[in-house]
Chain A
Amino acid sequence: MDGFTYTTQFADLALRMEDEAIKRDFPEFKRMPSLRGTGVWLGQLRPMAQTYEVRLAMSFGSADADLAYPRHPSSVRVLGSAVRPAASGTPVPHLYGSWDDPRGAHLCLYYPPDEIMVPGEQAAPKLLPWAYEWLHYYELWLVTGVWSGPAAPHDLIEPTDVVPSAEDRPRRVSLPRGVRGALMRCMTYHLNQERPVLARSSAIAA
């Protein structure tokens, strides 16, 4: 598994930072009750003609002395089947999975190797603006048949990046790239120094 397991304390701190930024820039989005180390927000975006119900979720993967919490790639989903194929039947581009996924259409917002997604600084500065932009291009795609936004082809991703997940197997999925920045390595190191984290398997076993 790529990436790190953070302390739950750190994950909660990062999620509070995300929430504060969302409240500032996207005040219509509200945080929903969720597991520790996990953030879920519901809100609306209206890039042009239509208003879309949007669900943002992020789980950084954390653990404390007693429990380990899952890690999932941050996801932005459009709810209520508002995203659907063109009248011609052409499938919607830049989606993970199907448009009629009962959990909502899962938007492909970025090419993972291009981005370093730092916990605490993902949602308001990047994910929600990109979701807004995605919906803008989606509306234009519906009437022109052409996705005019910048796109990276799937072929670019290396086979090693194809990670089967219990949630989406066997589709290709995009996981946020593990944080390898010196700063975050350093923070994790110091947090772990103060409150060591047990290995995930042993934490679950305990």
Chain B
Amino acid sequence: MIQGDILRQFYDDLLGDVAEKIQISPTAYKEAVAHFDTVAAYIHEEMSGLAHLDPVIYPQGSFRMGSTISAYDDREDYDIDLLLELSIHQFSAPDQVLALVAKALERAKGRLQFQSLEVKKRCVTLWYKNMHLDVTPAVLIPGRQARTIGIFDLHPERPDHAFANPEGFAQWFDGMVRPRVVMDMRKVHASTVPVPQQKPAEMKTTRLLSVQLLKRFRDIHCDKHDYDRMPSVLLSKIAAEAPRGRGLLSDLRSVAAYMAPVVARPLHVENPACQEDVLSDRWPKKAKSQRMLSDDLNHLVRKLDELLEEGTQVAKKQIIRELFGENAAAEGYHRASERAAAKSREGTFAVAAAGGMGTAASSAKPMVAPKHRFFGDPV
């Protein structure tokens, strides 16, 4: 193992810890699932007034794909997207469908425990203390790929009754980023109704973590440079198609380097599971956003390269902080310290070949530092 490998491993682990830090917290996740379960149980009951419409409710978007991240300022306001399929006419008036769902949910305000309800252009939002559930009514379109739906949209500039297939997209995304064993598990669930599953960060694939890190990077830099955020579904589609890298650092760099020129060009990105579902139809709102995101992605590539170059650790931490936020960087380094300490305690602390000065041609081999204690008062 030459120095580059040890360094890459260090930053792979560090970025993994940063990714762990930006996951939705287990408590918030359990809360989200509890809210989902309560809403799902309620709409199947007669008193909801929806039961006769054969409702099917399931998560979509980041929550479904396992790529939900926390806000970089640690403000808790998770966005949980749910799809509510109803057996209604495909061309029902959107305002009436939304009103029907809103009325049904409002009726059970005490039971569902939401603080307030808001009717938006294509969904009904239930606001909770630290999250909100967007319930999007839809109708299943027969004769199409499974779970292709029609959306009811009040937005004047978007087509009403547009086709979409978020579950089909999620399954395509799973196939691109998830290990086969997870895919098999999901297929069993998908035969009934898809349910959210939380995987700890260490069980997520490298590409899924790259997508989450990229979303965190996007959130910080869009706010910093004041341009509109590329929607997560669009980002996930492009990122999933990037060439693979070996290790998280390399994979994230590969995704950023692939995306930078793609997002600078005119975009027309379709949902692989539904041709009519154009994922790029809501972005960018401002023309400059594409160029600015492209510039930021190139910046990300440069900064990731700098991590491996000669410099001070203080400067490296500054890079991590600038890319992914203060708290995530602090947590990453804290865990890196704990990991190193555990290795020293076990007598397995790895020393790079030739003390980190070796080359591929060097005959020196990596070694392990014998167990010992540094002398002196710990600070």
Q: A residues within 8 Å of B by Cβ?
A: 24-29, 43-51, 87, 90-91, 93-95, 108-112, 114-115, 125-126, 128-130, 132-134, 136-137, 139-155, 174
**Which among B3, B315, B372 has the greatest number of chain A C-beta atoms within 10 A?**
B372
Interface: B191 (CB within 8 A) = no
* Number of B residues with CB within 8 Å of any CB on chain A: 46
Check if B340 is an interface residue, CB within 8 A of chain A.
yes
Chain B residue contacts of A174, Cβ below 8 A: 375
Chain B residues close to A by CB (< 8 Å): 3, 7, 10, 310-317, 330, 333-334, 336-338, 340-341, 344-345, 349, 351-352, 354-358, 362-365, 367-379
Chain A: minimal CB distance from B366 (Å): 10
List 19 additional contacts besides A43-B357, A148-B337; criterion CB under 8 Å: A44-B355, A45-B355, A47-B356, A49-B315, A91-B379, A95-B376, A108-B375, A111-B372, A111-B373, A111-B374, A133-B369, A136-B340, A140-B340, A143-B313, A143-B317, A146-B337, A148-B340, A151-B378, A153-B376
Contact B338 A148 (CB under 8 A): yes
Q: Which residues of the other chain, B, contact A45 by a CB distance below 8 angstroms?
A: 355-357
Q: Are B344 and A149 in contact (CB under 8 A)?
A: yes
Sample of 29 A–B contacts (CB below 8 Å): A25-B365, A27-B364, A46-B3, A46-B356, A47-B355, A48-B7, A50-B312, A91-B379, A93-B377, A109-B372, A109-B374, A109-B375, A111-B373, A125-B367, A129-B367, A130-B369, A132-B352, A133-B344, A137-B337, A139-B313, A140-B333, A143-B333, A144-B334, A146-B379, A147-B378, A147-B379, A151-B375, A152-B373, A153-B376
Q: How far is the CB of B5 from chain A (nearest CB, A)?
A: 13
Contacts of A27 in B (CB 8 A): 354, 358, 362-364
The chain B residue sitting closest to A141, CB to CB, is B379
Please give, as numbers and ranges, the residues of chain B lying within 8 Å of A145 by CB-CB distance.
379
Secondary structure dominating the interface of B: mixed
User: When A25-B364, A28-B354, A150-B341 are in contact, do A142 and B313 touch as well, CB less than 8 Å?
Assistant: yes
CA distance A128 to B314 in the complex (A): 24
Return the chain A residue nearest B7 by Cβ: A48
Interface pair A94/B351, CB less than 8 Å apart: no
Chain B residue numbers with a CB within 8 Å of A129 are: 349, 351, 367-370
Shortest CB–CB separation between residue B168 and chain A, in angstroms? 44
Q: Which residues of A contact B3 (CB under 8 A)?
A: 46
For residue B346, give the distance in angstroms from its CB to the closest CB of chain A. 10
**A152 and B375 in contact (CB under 8 A), knowing A51-B310, A140-B333, A140-B340?**
yes
Which residues on B sit within 8 Å (CB–CB) of A87?
Answer: 314
